[in-house]
Every structure is written in structure tokens, then in C-alpha cells.
Structure 1
């Protein structure tokens, strides 16, 4: 049918009378206002559910279920925001001064995370040293990428249990900070969702699974727990446990154990640490227990052992310094009584110069807290176990290749005379600890710092 065929047909919408038109407009305005309120309410609910209310995309590798749910919410929210915007515009044209706003709100929860990492490629845990990569910097990259943190780092109430050195690993480090939550903020919790219990965790974000899909393969989160807002991963920890692994070779384990037991109790450990006179003024620490035991690992007739040291807190490089002196005792180069002499700061006010033990074999095994119960979903636990099994197989395969290389060297004749000569020279060159040059005492360091500050 062409356009001209409609010319003579009657108009289906005849013009209204002016009073009827005004009444109709008022009715539409009233309906629009009610609809706007409904949309704002629905919009707020959807914004609460999304991972980031300011963008319509979710980074890849986020947990698939969460990503799907968040993605749908973002799309629905965008449509509703557009609808609200159009309605607001129409309403303002009809009634100037009418104010509408979308509600943007993020629920947060104070959470403790238990973290494991393998420290060989990291410049320690903490990121203040301006060296990269650090474990802490990698964790925050993952937190930002998964949109689990909102705002600046200084507003997250972040704390960490320990600052492990370069190369040191951990299977039980703990950090605490404010993370986004699926739970509503409730009264009595400082404005944040989550009490110091296991309740109200159903339906919560699967922090472990989401973060482990983003973190590098040598860092993994192994559990999470809601924490009270006054919790501190550093100051709320009542004990820390370190393990130091070593091959027995020809070490005198009995002598090392005798010496190690002398560490138990409260002592001044200034001769067993790297002294930081500018920031640390109390060098007394309490060691709860010390044990040496064999591990279930053997190689070429040798056996792997581990020293387990438990204490309330530790000084900078304290464990590695303790282990270094124990190795001298185990080699027969020092008597177990040297521990007594070094712990007596009246007798030995200056630390003898010695090299601390290597960093790679040291592991922060656990950090212990009262009433802190870490949890992990079954899916996240299975994924974590599969990942660790895969990594273990990879390293065992590499060890086998190195063993093959070692076997290939057996066909080369060794110069036994030269080797024995070097071993004798090494033993003969040992200088007893109490006869070595010493470092400045704490008092000397502190005085020097004060004089520098006065200039």
C-alpha cells in the first residue's frame, strides 16, 4: 500500500482538550516518579552484587561462577542506569529541580588470609625495600586485578605477621586487610561485615579460589577467616614456628641439640641477629621450643634433617644466625657452651663477626592465633592440592636430571690428594667465635645515631 492511500482515513488519535491533556500529563508524571524510585531501589541491589560498579567488564581468570554472576549484574545495572538517566531527564523537563541519584555502595569485610610462597625468586616478603618482585607486591597485584580491594592501600587496615628475608619461604604466613564482601555491613562490627567467628560465611566470595587463579605459581592462598576490626596479623600472633632444613653429612646432631636447647627461654639475642639500632631497642625474645629431627628424604646415603624453632617473635635474621652457630657446633669447631657466652651480653656485649646460614632452606611454617579458624572451599582445596602435586612432580623431575648429571661426572677421576688438602686447610683456618673481630655494640650504634641526629 502506497503512502497516498492513508490520506482520507480518519485520525485514530484525535487531539485532546487542554484540561484532559494536563490531567494526562500529571498522571504520567506520577507514574514516572514511582518508576524512578523502583528503578533506583533495584539499581542499588544490583550495584551491591557487582565486582566493580564503575566498569562493565571483569578481568579474565576470575572465578568463573563469580565472573558470570557479576557480568550479568553489570549488564543489568547498565541498562537500569540508562533507564533511570532517561527518566530523570524527562522528569526534569516536566518538573525542574527534581533530583535523582544512583546509590553506589561496597560492602567490606576484615579478612585474615593464610598464604604460602616459595621464596627463591623473591626479594623477601615486604615491598618497602623498593626491590621487585616481592611476595607482597604480587599479592596486591592479584587483589587489584580481582577487584577485591577498594580504595588506597593505607585505608585497608593492612597488617602482616612476619617479614621474611630474600629467598625465605613460608607455608603459613598470615596477612589481614579489608576486602570486598557479598555480606551486608551490620551494626556492632565497626561498620564492616564479619565477626570473629565462622558464622555468616555462606554465600561469601571464594577468596581462596579467586586469588589462586591470578597469583603466580609460587604463591598460593590456602585459607581465609573473618577477623574483628581490631585484629592485627602482627601483634595478635602469639607464636611463630620456623623450620630450617639441612643435610646431615657428618654433623654431630647430639651436640647441636644440646646447644640448641640453650636457646629455650627468654634471652637477649643481640648477638644472634642483624642489629637495627635505629628502630629496635629491645632485643629480648622468648623461644618456646627447639627440636632437631630427621625428615623422610634421603640422598646418596645422606639424610635430610630439620631444626624446628618456636618463639613469640623473632629479630631480623635471628633464625639464620642461630643456625649458623649451631652448624659450627655440629662440625666440632665450637663447643655447645659458646651459646651461653653469646647470650651473656654482659660478657659478650659485641657480636663476633660470622656468616649467617643460607636463606633458601628456611621456612616460616606457621603463625598461631587464638580463635582464628581458616577455611577453604572444597573446590579451592582440590585445585590447590592438584597445583602443589604438579609442582612437586616437576621439581622431583628436575632433581632426577641433576642426579643424572652427577652420575655422568663419576667417570671423571678426582684428585683426592688435592681435595683432602683443601679440607684440612679449611678446618685449620677456623677462628673461634670468641676470638674474632666484633661488630659495634648496641650502645655504640645508638650513640653514633644520636650524634648524627644532633648535627
Structure 2
């Protein structure tokens, strides 16, 4: 009787500008998904049947990940031992070169674990660059890694006041992008929404003075389609004086995806999936499963 394949949780990161998003696409497209490359790398490890990565968190084209997560089952030919987590991560990274995709870690998990449904929280960071009068002033090393909103300084205090209104459990229909994938409920819970100064990379000064990097950090169990980008866009509109904190409250109450002004969606390039978290008890392999492995 063939034994069940080992299941692994892998954390991975990628530079989203190069891909159509994280999810698998048809291979004949000009840009394909990160998942395509992950599965191609796994196929080169000679599994006994095709391997599929089950992605925790969907990201769109241009969105980056510091740490996304996925699980996979790795069937080994008869007589071949299962990979350790370190061996699997090393082997996948060898076959992912030169793509800007990297496996950060891999570990054995129970056969019941699911990277998407077992997640207890997801954290996103949106990077803003202030002090650029024109997009040509964005440092070359930051061009695909932040958004420089036009119009001068932002009213951070007003943005923070508006952010407080979004915390907690709400119907976020007004912050859901129309035409996105069907989701059963628009109700979501924001556990954290912070606006804070953030680090830059190499360039700190623009031709007209100091550049300021700010981060919008958002944490929740799950999000609606493009919810984070629409919330950040609305907060920036508050910082620019085009919306007020009261308008954010009204948007929540209207529960209508068409209610958000067209200009109030942040571009993909500043968004990073920063963390996906799980409970330790969901990662622990039961004794009976451990016995079957030995």
C-alpha cells in the first residue's frame, strides 16, 4: 500500500512586477503567475505525480510579497525518503533561479493543514513616498516598490483619524473592487491599521529636499478583492483633503462598491504581503501521523 505524500508549509517571497499575480495562469501568456514557476521547480524534483502549490493569499500583478505561504504534497518514488524542510527549500530555490522568487522556509505539517483556510491573520504593508513633485523624482531603486501620491504633503493626523473608523468588524462592500471574484460575505475584521514612518532603500534626498517614506500597515484574517488598495487610496485622499474622515464613515455605511471615488485606489506597486500567521497547534503533526512516518 502506497503511503500518503508528505505535506509541507512553505513561505516564499517575490518581486511582483515580473508576474501576472501569484496565482497560476496559462503558460502562453506574456506574464504568468508565481505559482507557475513554483510548480515548475517542484516538477524538477521528480515527484511521482504532479505537485500543486495551494496558495494562502492571492496577490495581483505588481503586488509584492515579503512572505506569502502555500502548502504542497510532495509524493516521492518508492524507496526515496521524504525531503526535510531544509532540503526541500534548498532544492526549490536551486530550480527557481534566476527568477525573483525565493523559498524562505519549508516545514512538515499535518495532512489536514491548509495554507489558505488555516491562516489566522494576514498582514499587508503599503509604502508611500512623500516629497516628490513629479514621478521622475522617485529614486530608481524605489520605482516599483512604492507610490508617490501627487499634490504635496499629506495630513497624517487626518489619515490616522480616518483609519480609526475602519478598525474592527464592518461590511466593507464600499472598499471591495467591482467585478472581482465572488466572496460569500463582505464582512471583515481589521485587527490593525497603522500609519507610521517607514524606511527607504538607498536614496533619501530628492532634488527639492528630503524624501519621506511612510507605511500603512493593515492586519486582518482575510480581505475582500483589492480592499487594502482601496482603503489606502481613500486614506491618501483624506490626507490630500479630497475626502474627510467623515466621508470614510459614510462610505462604510453606504455598502456600495461604486461609492468609492474612481481616483481613490492605490496602485499595486506599493503593496506588500508581509506575513501570514498560523496557530502552532495547527502546524504540529499528530502522534499517529508521526508514527506512520517512521
Normalising to structure 2: TM-score of the pair? 0.77
Aligned twin of 1:211:
92
Are 1:270 and 1:283, in contact at CA under 8 Å, matched by a contact in 2? yes
Shift of 1:169: 0.5
**Partner SS for 1:296:** coil
**Partner SS for 2:74:** strand
Aligned twin of 2:70:
175
**Partner SS for 1:287:** strand
Report the Cα distance in structure 1 between the residues aligned to 2:182 and 2:106, rounded to whole angstroms. Answer: 32
Provide, for residues 201-256 of structure 1, a one-character-per-residue CA deviation record: whole Å limited to 9, x for no partner.
8x666111111111133100000111111111111001100000011331111111
Shift of 1:159: 2.0
Are 1:268 and 1:345, in contact at CA under 8 Å, matched by a contact in 2? no
**Structure 1: gaps (5+ residues):** 1-102, 186-191, 194-200, 375-455
Aligned twin of 2:271:
362
Question: In 2 relative to 1, CA 111–255 (structure 1 residues): closer, same or farther, beyond 3 Å?
Answer: same
Matches for 1:64-83 after TM superposition, within 5 Å: none
Aligned twin of 2:171:
268
Question: In 2 relative to 1, CA 281–180 (structure 1 residues): closer, same or farther, beyond 3 Å?
Answer: closer
Shift of 1:128: 4.1
Shift of 1:274: 1.3
**Partner SS for 1:305:** strand
Aligned twin of 2:123:
241
Question: In 2 relative to 1, CA 139–278 (structure 1 residues): closer, same or farther, beyond 3 Å?
Answer: closer
Runs of 4+ in 1 over 6 A off after TM superposition: 182-185
Report the Cα distance in structure 1 between the residues aligned to 2:162 and 2:250, rounded to whole angstroms. Answer: 11
Are 1:270 and 1:351, in contact at CA under 8 Å, matched by a contact in 2? no
Report the Cα distance in structure 2 between the residues aligned to 1:273 and 1:204, rounded to whole angstroms. Answer: 37
Normalising to structure 1: TM-score of the pair? 0.51
Report the Cα distance in structure 2 between the residues aligned to 1:240 and 1:163, rounded to whole angstroms. Answer: 11
From 158, 175, 192, the equivalent of 1:255 is: 158
**Partner SS for 2:199:** strand
Shift of 1:270: 1.1
Shift of 1:373: 6.9
From 351, 362, 387, the equivalent of 2:259 is: 351
For the aligned residue pairs, the C-alpha RMSD in angstroms reads: 2.9
Aligned: 1:122 with 2:19: yes
Aligned: 1:326 with 2:235: yes
From 104, 109, 114, the equivalent of 1:222 is: 104
Report the Cα distance in structure 1 between the residues aligned to 2:23 and 2:73, rounded to whole angstroms. Answer: 18
Q: How many residues align?
A: 252
Are 1:107 and 1:183, in contact at CA under 8 Å, matched by a contact in 2? no
Aligned: 1:113 with 2:16: no
**Structure 2: gaps (5+ residues):** 132-152, 285-294
Larger helix percent: 1
Aligned twin of 2:149:
none
Aligned: 1:151 with 2:49: yes
Shift of 1:363: 0.1
**Partner SS for 1:337:** helix
Report the Cα distance in structure 2 between the residues aligned to 1:233 and 1:259, rounded to whole angstroms. Answer: 32
Aligned twin of 1:386:
none
